[in-house]
Structure 1
Amino acid sequence: MTETAPYKWRWIALFVILAAEVMDLLDSLVTNIAAPAIQADLGGGETTIQWLGAAYTLAMAIGLITGGRLGDIFGRKNIYLIGAVGFTLSSIACGIAQSPGQLVAARVAQGLLGAIMLPQGLGMLKEMFDEKEQGQAFGLFGPVMGLSSVGGPILAGFLIDADLWGTGWRMIFLINIPLGLFAIIGGLVYLPAWRTAKTVRLDLVGAVLAAAGSALIIFPLVQGREHGWPAWAFALMALAVAVFGFFGWFEARKARTGGDPLVEPSLFRKRGFSGGMILGLVFFSAMTGFWLTFSLYTQIGLHYSPFKAGMAGIPSSIGMVAAFIIAQALIGRFGRKVMHAGLIVMALGVTGVILTLQWKGVEVTPWQLAPALAVTGLGMGFVMAPFFDSVLASVEPHETGSASGTLTSVQQLGAALGTAVLGTVFFERIKHSGFVEAEQFTLYVELGMLVLVFAAVFLLPKHARPQEEATDPAPGELAKV
């Protein structure tokens, strides 16, 4: 039977998919707040703090492209359920870890299993909704991402300070159990069991090359500072460039010879998609690095409790929610100009944080930081709200699995880079100055990254969903099983 009409249970299925997104967003951010408490309990140094976040996001970035392809091969519902079950179990492993090594290993497992779960959701959304409703469906990701991004650290701080049943920081991972059960049961009942009509094969060589290139970038960025930036760190990063170059050549050759490449080369001939990859890599790097260093600064430098540090981000959350609401009315008319405006607003907010720290230093209070953080969150929201819909608008149905996996992989790789690069800048600067100066210097680097993102937005289509580009699944493309 061929599915051509919108899926009947699509709106319920959307919330099931969003539950998986929430688990990912919470677990990618909560260690920013929990890192000092985890370090105090399990031990480890500054690199351990960085690896708590980078291990998860790097593992996810490595697995996401393959995860999208697995959905094309074995069915997106089947792979989603495997990922949801595995993600829940690995969350339990994080919650019972007894050493930094065990926790980092469990975080790697979380990232890899999340990597096979998340692309299936984005792929199914493109199939379940018609073109008219896709904007509304993807629009819900903005508020969920925004609230989870800031609400996650607040929840983490509350759980750590509350020390429920003596669990302390461990509850930030164990809370995934009810979310995971909802994602699993809801997935079993409401997600459509569709598979692509085309038979595809897994590109194992491409998967290994993509994984190696990503690891060769992140590992030396995190570990290089601890070892005094030896020559091998720079050699590994140079090797990563060569590996990614070979990966691109291999994928193009595989497509020319009739094989099934891990990433469809045709995607990179779409300026909007290529531009979206650059934009996502740098923007999510800047965003993740901002919250990592801000959380460390408030807890280690200002001696805020985990809950107080999390609460300090509430103004940013309010700004993001306001931006998501406003952006929905503006995107259709102004297109990519909304993202440009958001980047300008975000840069003003970051500048405001710098000036506030210069004004009050270590005596700064959450109330004094609130105005600048609210403006920063407002700008973040204007960039995030149209991001996925804008980049995926020109993707053809047969490219959906590869495109969604690649795009989400770039997002996670950006988060890992943000943890590695801005975390390293922050800790390196502390050696030569105090916490205030280190945070200010890191924020100046952040402003430079936003300039690059601003330029990348010009590569996107002027409007998120050009009328001439249909994004509905082609008749006969999806076969119901």
Structure 2
Amino acid sequence: MADNRNRDPATGGTTDRRRWQALAIGLVAAFMTLLDVSIVNVAIPSIESALHASPSALQWVLSGYALTFGLVLVPSGRIGDARGRRTVFVVGLALFTLASAAAGLAQSPSWLIIARLIQGAAAGVVNPQVVGLIQQLFQGPERSRPFGILGAVIGISTAVGPLLGGLLIALEGTREGWRWVFYVNVPVGIVAIAFAWRVLPGRPERRPGRPSLDPVGVLLLALGVVLVLLPLVQERQWATPLKWLLIPAGIAVLAGFAAWERRHARHAEPIFDLALFRLRSYTLGGVIALLYFAGFTAIFFIYTLYVQNGLRYSALLAGISITPFALGSAVAAAIGGRIVNRFGRPLVAAGLALVALGLGAVVVTLHFVPGRGAPLALAAPLLVAGIGSGLVITPNQTLTLSEVPVPQAGSAAGMLQTGQRIGAAAGIAGVGAAFFSTLAATGNGWSRAFRDALLIAIGFIVIALVAAIADILVGRHNRHHHLPG
């Protein structure tokens, strides 16, 4: 009997059961890699004590992951598009698993930093393949359900990271418990690799000619992303204001990347097709994602500091206190994925409005309950914000990628996620600067510092809401303009 296991799903060679199995493996990998963005936050005090790490080293443990994550997203997405996603996915997941084991075994800050840099790069290899697989395995409106599940995974992994990290440290002890924050990836990764090779679709049908991987474009994009991200992730460690000159330098390099891609596209496939930016859904969706992640990710950064360092909560209690957001986000993301095709971008706008409303309620609540009882009082506002978040991430991703051709799905997803990583770094830098500035000015005013910083995060989300409303208005104008008569 012929083995249809690895036939391209675009030709009908993948059964419905097989594609859902492939999606499940992809979601497990996405959860692992995105969890490691936030799970390490609660382990920082333990790492500092165990490895005698300096503040600069600790910053690299946190930000190095995000830096290399963002660096490889587009190139790895392009390789998956051109050469087959299964091999790229498995290689990335294997590297991530090995790097996690190395991080858990770290005996010095330098060892841990190198492991985290490799871990982040491996995560950047894996994630575009997951979105590319959804585009490849599911067609048209049926993509809304898998994207809804992926959105729930994104929301849960980001929000539940502190809870899981705190639980592991509580079980294994503050001295060595931080190692299990990394070790937990190893058995899951091994099992996922074994199943991935069996159920993920293999190499796509060959198109005429050999796809170009555009090494010049890869180098220009990588350099531009590094120049933009470095001053953001090192905002507190590099005191000199000259660091901000790297951002305009990075933008100039990215402009050179765009010029090269236009030229390269005349005779070969570029690493990223700039024509995708002509799609309003992709361009405005990318802007919304960048702005939202600037506010969304920064919230967890300052909230963890506020609860652990300011209110002296344990790592476990700090994680538990953010659970309402995680639950609300998970449930709403699953629902949002199912209804996004019915409501479109207005659903994203409604989600953004709910997030802003919930976070605004957090600011008001902290004014009246500033002490150790604050996390309990914040449960309801965080639940509202979490519900809103679930209605933003999944529907926005579905709409943003809805018009992207399948052969470009990986690179398009990579560019979208690169914007998210840049937004997250910018948000943490800006919101963190406001947090630490207020803290320094007030001496020990943790609640006020958190409130002031939260206002900056809300600002990012409100700007994202304006972009969503602009998309809605332009869409309505275009539909009205093209009506007959």
Provide the TM-score with structure 2 as the length reference.
Answer: 0.90
Is 1:213–2:224 an aligned residue pair? yes
* CA apart distance, 1:138: 1.4
Q: What's the secondary structure of 2:435's corresponding residue? A: helix
2:93 is matched with: 84
2:455 is matched with: 444
* CA apart distance, 1:160: 0.8
Is 1:189–2:198 an aligned residue pair? yes
Residue segments in structure 1 that go unaligned for 5+ positions in a row: 465-481
1:272 is matched with: 281
Separation in structure 1 between the aligned mates of residue 13 and residue 159 of structure 2, nearest angstrom: 33
Greater Cα shift, 217-226 or 192-201? 217-226
Q: What's the secondary structure of 1:200's corresponding residue? A: coil
Is 1:66–2:75 an aligned residue pair? yes
> Structure 2 vs 1, CA of residues 191 and 432 (structure 1 numbering), >3 Å: closer, same or farther?
same
Letter in structure 2 aligned against 1:243: V
> Structure 2 vs 1, CA of residues 250 and 429 (structure 1 numbering), >3 Å: closer, same or farther?
farther
Separation in structure 2 between the aligned mates of residue 250 and residue 460 of structure 1, nearest angstrom: 29
Letter in structure 1 aligned against 2:12: A
> Structure 2 vs 1, CA of residues 142 and 224 (structure 1 numbering), >3 Å: closer, same or farther?
closer
Letter in structure 1 aligned against 2:245: A
1:313 is matched with: 322
1:241 is matched with: 251
2:269 is matched with: 260
Aligned partners of 2:285 and 2:400 also within 8 Å:
yes
* CA apart distance, 1:260: 2.4
> Structure 2 vs 1, CA of residues 204 and 67 (structure 1 numbering), >3 Å: closer, same or farther?
same
Separation in structure 2 between the aligned mates of residue 51 and residue 349 of structure 1, nearest angstrom: 32
> Structure 2 vs 1, CA of residues 310 and 165 (structure 1 numbering), >3 Å: closer, same or farther?
closer
Deviation track 1:158-189 (CA, whole Å, cap 9, x = no partner) reads 00111169731110110001220122011111
Greater Cα shift, 455-464 or 170-179? 455-464
Deviation track 1:67-94 (CA, whole Å, cap 9, x = no partner) reads 0111133321111111111000001111
Counterpart mapping for 1:123-142 below 5 A? 123-142=132-151
Separation in structure 1 between the aligned mates of residue 59 and residue 373 of structure 2, nearest angstrom: 25
Q: What's the secondary structure of 1:386's corresponding residue? A: helix
Counterpart mapping for 1:147-226 below 5 A? 147-163=156-172, 167-198=176-207, 199-226=210-237
* CA apart distance, 1:461: 7.0
Separation in structure 2 between the aligned mates of residue 417 and residue 284 of structure 1, nearest angstrom: 9
> Structure 2 vs 1, CA of residues 445 and 365 (structure 1 numbering), >3 Å: closer, same or farther?
closer
Aligned partners of 1:255 and 1:265 also within 8 Å:
no
Among residues 21, 30, 33, which one is paired with 2:30 in the alignment?
21
Aligned partners of 1:336 and 1:463 also within 8 Å:
no
Q: What's the secondary structure of 1:140's corresponding residue? A: helix
1:395 is matched with: 404
Q: What's the secondary structure of 2:213's corresponding residue? A: coil
Q: What's the secondary structure of 2:27's corresponding residue? A: helix
Is 1:120–2:120 an aligned residue pair? no
Deviation track 1:301-340 (CA, whole Å, cap 9, x = no partner) reads 1111000000001111222133234434542332111111
Greater Cα shift, 135-144 or 417-426? 417-426
Separation in structure 2 between the aligned mates of residue 89 and residue 402 of structure 1, nearest angstrom: 25
Q: What's the secondary structure of 1:318's corresponding residue? A: helix
Separation in structure 1 between the aligned mates of residue 431 and residue 110 of structure 2, nearest angstrom: 23
Aligned partners of 1:267 and 1:399 also within 8 Å:
no
Residue segments in structure 2 that go unaligned for 5+ positions in a row: 1-6, 476-485
Identity of aligned residues (%): 35
Separation in structure 1 between the aligned mates of residue 44 and residue 463 of structure 2, nearest angstrom: 30
> Structure 2 vs 1, CA of residues 456 and 46 (structure 1 numbering), >3 Å: closer, same or farther?
farther
Q: What's the secondary structure of 2:190's corresponding residue? A: helix
> Structure 2 vs 1, CA of residues 165 and 58 (structure 1 numbering), >3 Å: closer, same or farther?
closer
Letter in structure 2 aligned against 1:321: A
Separation in structure 1 between the aligned mates of residue 334 and residue 134 of structure 2, nearest angstrom: 21
Aligned partners of 1:206 and 1:247 also within 8 Å:
yes
The higher relative CO (CA closer than 8 Å, separation ≥ 6) is in 1
Deviation track 1:39-84 (CA, whole Å, cap 9, x = no partner) reads 2322345444443332112211110100011113332111111111
**How many residues are treated as equivalent by the alignment?**
463
Aligned partners of 1:72 and 1:200 also within 8 Å:
no
Provide the TM-score with structure 1 as the length reference.
Answer: 0.90
Separation in structure 1 between the aligned mates of residue 428 and residue 110 of structure 2, nearest angstrom: 18
Separation in structure 2 between the aligned mates of residue 407 and residue 224 of structure 1, nearest angstrom: 23
Counterpart mapping for 1:280-429 below 5 A? 280-328=289-337, 330-429=339-438
Among residues 13, 21, 24, which one is paired with 1:12 in the alignment?
21
2:3 is matched with: none
* CA apart distance, 1:279: 1.3
Deviation track 1:124-162 (CA, whole Å, cap 9, x = no partner) reads 221222324222221211222222222222111000111
Separation in structure 2 between the aligned mates of residue 445 and residue 228 of structure 1, nearest angstrom: 21
Q: What's the secondary structure of 1:228's corresponding residue? A: coil
Aligned partners of 1:390 and 1:463 also within 8 Å:
no
